[in-house]
Amino acid sequence: MEELSDNVYRFILSNIRDEELARDIVQDAYERLWMNCKKVDAKKVRSYLFTTAHNRMIDMIRKAKHEQKADVTPEVASPYHDDQYSDLSEVLESALSELNETQRSVLLLRDYEGYAYKEIAEITELSESQVKVYIYRARLAMKEKIGSIEAIV
Amino acid sequence: MSKINKHNYEAYLLDFMEGTLSKEDAKALEKFLKENPQIDADIFDSSGLSIKPDEQVNFNNKLQLQRDESLPEFSKRDSLLIGLLEDNLNTTDREKAKKLLAENESALRDYTLYKKTKLEADYSVTYKGKSSLKKKAPVLSLRQVSYASVAAVLVGLLAFALIRLNTPGNTLYQPGQIAKTSDVIHFDAEKTNKPETNLQTAIQQSEKPEHLASNTNRHNSGEKESRHTENTITEKTQVNTIPRMGVKELPYDEQRMSDVVMNYREISEPVSPLNINNITYVKVSQDKKGIQLPNRKEIDETLEKYNPIKNLREAKNELLATNAKSLFNRE
């Protein structure tokens, strides 16, 4: 079960880009899991961890926004400029950073974990149709970003 | 002389085609063209002036103009391309998307960009500190610990007692023997907080136990003396007592023992002190001739009455109070 921590950690880290905070969130998710292990269906452990971590992350982001802590806010400026990308991964990272937190979360859950829209909806507490729209918007925005950078390069 | 000549007729001609040429100039232009038929033949060919649409050229992005009914904010084209990438198109739309890609280079280029939006996790990124995620030992509340401890102690005590009871010859007192004071413990719930400091005081107090006052009054002095003597083994051996959870423990002392036991009757039956956690429980035998153990049934009933989660003190109090009652209510 601890192996899931890698997945949760990557998901959170890709969202907030703060290793320490990401570790705290993973730790917190597992503590909550153990506290509620009798209530959690064994088949739902993975989903439970992602849900808990996601909720915790959203709480922290909102709190950080409220406190105007730019170092926690995920919408930090990309470290890359349009003429500094060395490969596609950097372009993608930059494009990902420009998405809003919901688009980023659903896209990461979709691509990293391969979750279905329904599962993503459960984790993020959105409707399936909302998840679909967020994913489409994210893809469209990232495609535009990639296209504009490729045109420059 | 006409103002229109071979050098400027094109300007008049363009104004005519634009509809801005005056009637006078239009007539002059007409006259000029009639006088110069060669110009008229070369330039005013009707086929050369009219622009016909190239029917071979079509707008290939019609889908870009359509909206997806389910996703109105997206064009049908983007919806098909993203849907194809997401693998959530129905059969009809899938065919449309494939046809679009086959026929439209621009759509194919866009689809290539869409495919690049697929994110791949970096598996070299791992969570360091998995050991800290393992389930920790359950943290019991103080109440839980207390209950668990009491239960464990009671079970242990009972097991130990049963072992002792079932071990022949283990501190077994034969008739005629007197139990060692170290093995004899008197329990008196009403005296738990009154540790005795010397033998005399203990004897004096034991002569008139408060909780036996009514019983004592019903007896004449002879009976009282007799009972006092019979109770000696438990009542009068309170030497250097140690208050311990309502139990007064009597450490072995040969000299004091000899002082105490002079009034003892012989023990008429073998007894094996019930030693629980180094505390020995005895009671005077029903035949008034010595001490005896509370039997197993009495112990079981007492312990059962007090659920293990109850305080050990209560359990012991009850157990030994039963003994004391038996001790002082003898026939």
B chain contacts of residue A120, beta-carbon cutoff 8 Å: none
Question: How much is the pLDDT for B170?
Answer: 39
How far away is chain A from the Cα of B120, in angstroms, using its nearest Cα?
6
From the candidates B69, B119, B124, which should be mutated to test the interface with A, based on the most A CB atoms within 10 A? B119
Interface of B with A in 106-165 (CB under 8 A): 110, 113-114, 116-123, 125-136
Summary count for chain B: helices (H), strands (E): 15, 7
Task: Give the model confidence (pLDDT) of A1-29 as tens digits.
Answer: 677 899 999 999 999 888 899 999 999 99
How far away is chain A from the Cα of B89, in angstroms, using its nearest Cα?
12
Domain boundaries, chain A: 1-73, 77-153
Question: How much is the pLDDT for B2?
Answer: 61
Place of tokens 């990902």: A96
Q: Which residues pair with B187 in a beta bridge?
A: B247
How far away is chain A from the Cα of B10, in angstroms, using its nearest Cα?
44
Question: How much is the pLDDT for B295?
Answer: 54
Q: Hey, what are A43's tokens? A: 């088949």
DSSP string over A70-103: TTT-S-PPPS--TT---SHHHHHHHHHHTS-HHH
* Interchain pair B114, A143: CB under 8 A: yes
Distance CA(B331)–CA(B328), nearest Å, equals 9
* Pairs of CB atoms within 8 A across A/B: 85
* Interchain pair B127, A8: CB under 8 A: yes
More confident: A28 or B210? A28
State the DSSP code for B75.
B
A chain contacts of residue B117, beta-carbon cutoff 8 Å: 92, 95, 138-139, 142-143, 146
Residue type, B12: Y
* Interchain pair A2, B71: CB under 8 A: no
Q: Which residue of A has its CA nearest to B82?
A: A136
When pLDDT is averaged across residues B151-174 and rounded to a whole number, the result is 61
Residue type, A104: R
Class of domain A1-73: mainly alpha
pLDDT at B225 over 50: no
pLDDT at A128 over 60: yes
* Interchain pair B127, A9: CB under 8 A: yes
In sign, the C-alpha dihedral spanning A77, A80, A82, A83 is: positive
Percentage of chain B with pLDDT > 70?
Answer: 35
Q: Which residue of A has its CA nearest to B85?
A: A139
> In 3D, which of B311, B82, B318, B45 has the Cα closest to residue B189?
B318
A77-153 adopts what CATH topology? Arc Repressor Mutant, subunit A (1.10.10)
Give me the interface pTM, i.e. the ipTM: 0.85
Place of tokens 């990272």: A93
> In 3D, which of B319, B122, B27, B192 has the Cα closest to residue A9?
B122
> In 3D, which of B118, B298, B120 has the Cα closest to residue A139?
B118
Question: How much is the pLDDT for B217?
Answer: 38
> In 3D, which of A46, A66, A58, A63 has the Cα closest to residue A16?
A58
More confident: A100 or B279? A100
| Of the partner residues A2, A111, A117, the one whose CB lies closest to the CB of residue B130 | A2
pLDDT at A88 over 50: yes
Looking at beta carbons, which pairs linking A114-117 to residues 24 or more positions away fall under 8 Å? Answer: A117/B88
Task: Give the model confidence (pLDDT) of B88-132 as tens digits.
Answer: 899 999 998 999 899 888 899 999 999 999 998 888 888 887 777
Q: At what angle do helices A117-124 and A101-113 cross, to 10 degrees?
A: 130
Cα B93 versus chain centre, distance: 49
Largest CA distance in chain B: 176
> In 3D, which of A85, A89, A100 has the Cα closest to residue A149?
A85
Largest CA distance in chain A: 55
pLDDT at A134 over 90: yes
How far away is chain A from the Cα of B83, in angstroms, using its nearest Cα?
8
User: B72 at the A interface (CB within 8 A)?
Assistant: no
3-state secondary structure of B328: helix
Among A109-113, B224-228, B308-312, the minimum mean pLDDT is found in: B224-228
Percentage of chain A with pLDDT > 90?
Answer: 48
Distance CA(A121)–CA(A126), nearest Å, equals 5
